[in-house]
């Protein structure tokens, strides 16, 4: 019984490590380059509107226009790969109309809050 419990514990720790690793490596990947995620489970588009009061964005993508809700737990990454600079963590104040972004929603649903958002910095 103890061996079975230990095996289950080790396997669950391994899966938690994989989930954490995916979030931490997202900082270093450019927009559209997340293996298995980009365009399939994320939304890539341009910012049409920024609502600082409600912390929401309106994003226009290839499949339509979406309202993106953020929370205090939403990670914001600044993709500076076009400038050949290291990527950084950002803040909601970095969002500007017309900028290219990639949004990963919680639980792969486009009506849930964003888990993370990548913002492409060109200048």
The residue extents of the domains of the chain are 2-120
pLDDT at 31 exceeding the cut of 90: no
pLDDT in tens, 80-114: 988 999 989 999 999 999 999 999 988 766 667 99
Whole-angstrom Cα distance, residue 62 to residue 86? Answer: 28
pLDDT at 60 exceeding the cut of 90: yes
Backbone angles phi, psi at 28, to 5 degrees: -95, -5
Q: For residues 41 and 104, is the Cβ–Cβ distance under 8 A? A: yes
* pLDDT for position 20: 43
Alpha-carbon Rg for the chain, nearest whole angstrom, is 17
Q: Which CATH architecture has domain 2-120?
A: Beta Barrel (2.40)
**pTM, 2 dp:** 0.74
- Mean pLDDT, all residues of the chain: 81
Q: How wide is the angle at C-alpha 71 spanned by C-alphas 12 and 29, nearest 5°?
A: 65
Q: What is the DSSP string of 9-45?
A: HHHHHHHHHHHHHHHHHGGGSPTT--TTTTTTTEEEE
pLDDT in tens, 108-121: 666 679 999 999 99
Record the tokens describing residue 102, joined without a space. 């990639």
């Amino acid at each position: 019984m103890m061996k079975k419990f230990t095996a289950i514990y080790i396997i669950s720790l391994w899966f938690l490590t994989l989930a954490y690793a995916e979030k931490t490596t997202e900082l270093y990947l450019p927009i559209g380059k997340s293996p298995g995620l980009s365009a399939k489970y994320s939304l890539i588009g341009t910012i049409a509107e920024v609502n600082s009061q409600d912390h929401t964005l309106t994003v226009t993508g290839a499949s339509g226009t979406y309202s993106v809700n953020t929370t205090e737990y939403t990670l914001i990454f600044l993709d500076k790969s076009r400038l050949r600079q290291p990527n950084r963590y950002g803040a909601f104040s970095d969002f500007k109309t017309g900028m290219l972004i990639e949004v990963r929603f919680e639980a792969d649903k486009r009506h849930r809050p964003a888990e993370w958002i990548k913002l492409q910095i060109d200048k």
